[in-house]
Chain A
Amino acid sequence: MSEATTKPSYAVPVFAALSAIGFAITIWLVFTYTPLAQDLFFNQKIFYYHVAHAFMMFAAVALCGVSSIAFLKFRKPKWDDIALASAEVAVALGAVVLITGSIWGKAAWDVWWTWEKRLTMSLLLWLTLVAYVIVRRFAGSSADRMAAGLAVFGTVALPFIYFMVDRSDRHPQAGVAAALEPKMKLVFWLSVATFLCWFLALVIARIQSARAERELRELRERGLDTGVLT
């Protein structure tokens, strides 16, 4: 049993504040400082958000995979808390990736959806994440085990999805991979840092809420055991 009182933690407010400041700065720089892209002009600006979110989604997936392995190995609830938190955050991040990707597709190729490599990969990965969340909700008492298994298998499936998509993609790689100008690069990495803070704030907050829920339950059980509660 973990100790019943959560130590006050400044991690969430600090990361949230950092991301808020970072967001204000990046959005300013994105519209005033970065040059217009050669072929997409103003539309390219979504890149700073789209790609940064995709990075964070992959980070969340990696975190979920690693903590799921640890949970299966040691069966300690703290690992499960981390896996659940990162999967839920990854679903939200993935939704942003898909929506911004779709907007980009409309601007670049004039279609709302295109089976472009990275977008396809993001979709397939996102589907696995949604399956993870569904299992958590509906698999009853074995949900944690099931979901951990899905996360481990999903991580192994990633390279296969990559090679599969890589081989079957016939889409032109217009503009996406074009080399970034130094100014663009700077703002892009600033944006990544901003969303990294945002991601950390979300994941840590979610972990803390899961932990608090568990401690509340344990306290209640202790109260019932000693007869203080009925």
Chain B
Amino acid sequence: MREPLSGVQITKVAKRYGSERALAGVTLELASRSMCALLGHNGAGKTTLLGILSTLVRPNDGKVIYRAGTAEVTGIAVRREIGMLAHASLCYGELTARENLELFAKLYELDPGRAAIDAVLDRVGLEPRARDRASRTYSRGMVQRLALARALLTAPSLLLLDEPFTGLDRGGALALGTELGKLRDGGAIVVVVTHDLEAIAGRTDHVAILRRGQLVFEERGSYDYERLKDVYHQHAN
């Protein structure tokens, strides 16, 4: 029943918030087995573009087409494939880690059994002692692990990450980077918005830079930290 997404075509997408221009005609193609780094200064439109990709922001103009193989996918079938990891955890603080994952497993019509949930929590390394405690008592790092578990639980084929490294220590950020690399190799489309170039260096193979709502640079290739820094400073300003 699931149709993993194989590509996303963004065509001339524009978005305004009242008088504020957030995006002005962005065209971008995303492919599976690829990690796209969406870079730019604050207010460049990165989060808006991510919002549009996640179907939670409606563009005023232009369109986004999601494809699974050759077929176009829309609506609930698209949302089924999206995994989101943001600065906020998207989990309920009053519920425990297990209860949070059970809830989302049910909403996604997945197996909410104890074994399935423990498997995901093992994968992100959330210690067993903490799993039955309300998640508001967690440390920042544990919350981020839970958020990652929530995203991994549904095995998404389009992963949208909005500043996922903020608040993590260096080790945590690098571990998350590794996990994202694995997902990409598994065939997912990964889009990451971040200021932390170090965490994505060596993993990203597609760089798109936004400035004042416009796409000013786009290139596919391999990027180490130095190269990322170079293109960023050259084009974001």
Contact = CB atoms under 8 A, between A and B. Distances in A.
Interface in A59-76: 75-76
Interface string A130-165: 000000000011111000000000000000000000
A221 B16 contact: no
B18 A143 contact: yes
Interface residues of A, number: 14
A75 B59 CA distance: 8
A219 interface: no
Interface of A: 75-77, 140-144, 213-214, 217, 221, 224-225
A221 B21 contact: yes
A77 B21 contact: no
B58 A75 contact: yes
Report the 8 A-B pairs with minimum CB-CB distance, sorted nearest first: A141-B17, A141-B18, A75-B60, A221-B21, A143-B18, A75-B58, A217-B19, A144-B18
Interface of B: 16-21, 24, 58, 60, 212, 214
Binding site of B, secondary structure by majority: helix, strand, loop or mixed?
Answer: strand
5 contacts: A75-B60, A141-B20, A144-B18, A221-B212, A225-B212
Given A213-B19, A225-B24, A225-B214, 15 more contacts: A75-B58, A75-B60, A77-B16, A77-B60, A141-B17, A141-B18, A141-B20, A142-B17, A143-B18, A144-B18, A217-B21, A221-B21, A221-B24, A221-B212, A224-B212
Binding site of A, secondary structure by majority: helix, strand, loop or mixed?
Answer: helix
Contacts of B16: 77
